[in-house]
Structure formats: structure tokens, C-alpha cells
Copies of this chain bind each other. A is one copy, B any other.
Amino acid sequence: MRDFQWSAAEKKVARAAFDLALSREMRSVRHEIEAMLGRSSDPGEVWRIHDYLSDRRQEIDYKYDYRYSVLITVFSRLVQEGWLTEEELDGLGPEKLEVIRRAVALNREEVDEVGNR
């Protein structure tokens, strides 16, 4: 992937989109542990919640990497996974948006192919 330059305005859009996706994903973690508590009154459920949180924290720490050198890849993944819409990245330069769009489309094709086998 080519080495993009980020303007001050783009950095602002990027930061807001990044934080928005992160807060959505953490809210989904919260909903899941609330659901786990609701589903089971077994005292041992707290360790299953602990295991779940350990896994999610590791995954989220790894995924939310705010270095400009990897940010396009991060955004592509967040759009693919549904944590961000392409519209929420409006304000990034058209080249960056094009790379993200192509990465998302490419991944959807791959997913479809696997699904059609």
C-alpha cells in the first residue's frame, strides 16, 4: 500500500471516525456481558465473562492501531465489519477512500466466493 500523506483536516476526520468505531465496539462488548449476566445465574458465569473480556480486549487492542502507516487498513476492516460506514469517512481524500472501497469490495467478493462453494 502506498504511503499516504494526511492533512490536518483529514487527521481530524480520521480521529473522529476511529473513536466512533471504538466506542461502538466497546458498547457491543458491554451489551454482550449484560446479556451473559442475564442468560445465566450460575456463579461460574463471571469467569466466562472474564474469558470473553480477555479475548475481546486483546482483539480490540490489536485492531485499533492509530498509526497513519496502517490506518487505511484499519478503516477498511472497520467498514467491512460494520463498525463504520463509508459515509463516516467523508472528508478523507478521494484516493484514500478509493483504496478503502476497493479493499472492502475485494473482501466481500472473497466472502461471497467462500459462501458459494
A positions within 8 Å CB-CB of B: 22-23, 26-27, 29-30, 33-34, 37, 43-47, 49-50, 53-54, 57
Instruction: Give the docked Cα–Cα distance between A11 and B44 (Å).
Output: 23
The answer to whether B53 touches A27 (Cβ under 8 A) is no
The contact sample of 9 A-B pairs, CB cut-off 8 A, is A26-B44, A30-B37, A30-B43, A30-B46, A33-B49, A34-B37, A47-B57, A50-B54, A54-B54
Number of copies: 2
Main secondary structure of the interface of A (DSSP, over half): helix
The answer to whether B53 touches A46 (Cβ under 8 A) is yes
Q: Which residues of B contact A22 (CB under 8 A)?
A: 43
Q: Which residues of B contact A50 (CB under 8 A)?
A: 50, 53-54, 57
